[in-house]
């Protein structure tokens, strides 16, 4: 069997949180194109259903949409029950849901701080933990958490201390889980994207004016495209990454190199 055949995900089952749009959608598309059945998990169930339907029509794999607030353990547990009932197992989990608030540190309220930390860090913990429980029972599985280059550097000029702190936490959570599960068949890695030209970023009134400045600072002179994260997602979901765990893959066009 050649390497391209080994990269296939036929017969596997995956979930992607925040899968309705943006980076999550592109990851879900990539997994499906590689042959994996996919559960799209999102707070916006209407958009998740639309995306799931489009992916199923384009790829022929089985897709489901599940409405879940990743900060609520009971909803995350229900999500996992639905996935296992539908697919019978879970091979790959992409804990991707996240938000960002650009608020100066001295002006940020505790409620605003908690919202970002709850979704970006606690939400990743809860969904990764739920996936791990199933995978540890199976004796195999791959968990991939979406971190950010913001876990390594402080972005400028936008003030986003809560986002940066949450993503640094995701990276260390990933490494901690990887070590705990290393001898039990479950791998845990993270992907740290740089600035990505998602629909949300490109159309955000608060971020759009910053894009020119980001691009001027970027070694490649541009933002990344969400589809440029697809190949690493497929690699981490599949069996060819069997010795890859505890790693953080920075996909940022060399932005963090200086």
The list of the chain residues with pLDDT below 50 reads none
For the chain, helix (H) and strand (E) counts, in that order, are: 10, 7
* Cβ atoms within 10 Å of 195's Cβ, excluding its own: 23
Model confidence pLDDT, tens digit, residues 36-92: 999 999 999 999 999 999 999 999 999 999 999 999 999 999 999 999 999 999 999
Nearest CA to 91 out of 48, 134, 128 is that of 134
Using the Cα atoms of residue 246, residue 93, residue 1 and residue 88 in order, give the sign of their dihedral: positive
Active site residues: 148, 163, 167
Q: What is the pLDDT of residue 200?
A: 76
Domain residue spans of the chain: 3-251
User: pLDDT value at position 185?
Assistant: 98
Closest alpha carbon to 191 in 76, 55, 98, 59: 98
Measure the CA–CA gap between 41 and 66, rounded to whole angstroms.
5
**In this structure, which topology does domain 3-251 adopt according to CATH?**
Rossmann fold (3.40.50)
pTM of the entire predicted model: 0.97
Q: Is 258 exposed, middle or buried (0-12, 13-18, 19+ CB in 10 A)?
A: exposed
């Amino acid at each position: 069997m050649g390497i391209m055949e080994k990269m296939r995900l036929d017969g596997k089952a995956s979930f992607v949180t925040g899968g309705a749009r943006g980076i999550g959608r592109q990851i879900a598309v990539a997994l499906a194109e590689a042959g994996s059945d996919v559960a799209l998990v999102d707070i916006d169930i209407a958009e998740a259903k639309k995306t799931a339907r489009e992916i199923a029509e384009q790829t022929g794999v089985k897709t489901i949409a599940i409405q879940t607030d990743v900060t609520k353990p009971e909803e995350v547990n229900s999500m996992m029950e639905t996935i296992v009932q539908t697919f019978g197992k879970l091979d790959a989990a992409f804990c991707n849901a996240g938000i960002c608030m650009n608020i100066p540190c001295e002006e940020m309220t505790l409620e605003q701080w908690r919202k970002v930390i709850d979704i970006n860090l606690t939400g990743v913990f809860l969904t990764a933990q739920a996936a791990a429980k199933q995978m540890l029972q199976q004796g195999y599985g791959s968990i991939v958490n979406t971190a950010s280059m913001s876990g390594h550097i402080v972005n400028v000029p936008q003030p986003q201390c809560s986002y940066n702190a949450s993503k640094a936490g995701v990276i260390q959570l990933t490494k901690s889980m990887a070590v705990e599960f290393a001898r039990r068949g479950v791998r845990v890695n993270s992907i740290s994207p740089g600035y990505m030209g998602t629909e949300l970023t490109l159309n955000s009134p608060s971020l759009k004016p910053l894009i020119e400045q980001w691009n001027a600072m970027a070694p490649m002179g541009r933002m990344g495209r969400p589809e440029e994260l697809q190949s690493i997602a497929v690699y981490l979901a599949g069996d060819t990454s069997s010795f890859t765990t505890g790693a953080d893959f920075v996909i940022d066009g060399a932005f963090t190199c200086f």
